[in-house]
A = this chain, B = another copy of it.
């Protein structure tokens, strides 16, 4: 299945939930290359080192690491600073770059303004996996297994680089789907970012009315339904800022659907409510049959 050669070296930039899970999976599968880590929090770097997840307990230079994949696993708005830090370590001019960030258009714009050479070797990726728990301590080997990774190639990416990055994700257990940056940000605004907006707003609304009684009578289902409102606030603040326009549009679309159902409830229109619920259930059930 994997035809391209693996990387002799991998540098994971940002050892949180995602970066940590990648490091653990590489260890689990005995990835043939050497795995290095970079984190602005030295304690986390040393913790990953003492767990034998990475080969280094500090990092000053990437000199001598020719065949290297550099993998950014930071919050979206920390990417710029992380990229500057990596550039200061003087990576090889053959280094291949990828990332795990949840929005793509703004990252691509930043790369275009930053460096033609790095942009050409940067294959944008987004593994569709996560957790409401964050940090290295919550990372796990299996996070990417049987999940999708979306690759968003841009026009100056070489096929060879796209293939090598795709194969890297396959090694981690993912299957690959391709979307342009624009498609990616538009779709995920709806299927991922909007549910997070809704979940945070729902929790605020319930706590505002029920206070500490919010979960007293829920018997587990409200916990499940609102789990994503416990997601990492910095990660999601960054997504809400960087995919601003798409998210606002998706909220407005949702507000219209909500108003439609609310009006039917207000009118006590039994027949139309039943049709709304039946149509939704049928669409959902039929759609899921395809996956």
Of chain B, the residue at the smallest CB distance from A222 is B191
**Are A204 and B273 in touch, CB under 8 angstroms?**
no
Residue A159 lies at the interface, judged by CB distance under 8 Å to chain B: no
Residues from chain B with Cβ under 8 Å of A210 in the complex: 187, 190-191
Pick from A16-24, A39-47, A81-89, A228-236 the stretch touching chain B: A228-236
A167–chain B nearest beta-carbon distance, Å: 19
Binding site for B on A (CB under 8 A): 77, 128-130, 147-148, 150, 177, 179, 187-188, 190-192, 194-195, 197-210, 212-226, 228-231, 233-234, 236-237, 240-241, 244, 247-248, 250-251, 253-258, 260-262, 265-266, 268, 270, 273-274, 276-281, 283-285, 287-288, 290-291
Q: A77-B270, A204-B276, A215-B290 provided; 16 other pairs, C-beta below 8 A?
A: A128-B219, A148-B217, A192-B222, A195-B226, A197-B258, A198-B198, A203-B284, A226-B284, A229-B280, A230-B281, A233-B278, A233-B281, A234-B274, A237-B273, A241-B268, A255-B255
When A and B form their complex, which 4 residue pairs have the shortest distance between CB atoms, in order from nearest? A128-B219, A233-B277, A205-B257, A201-B258
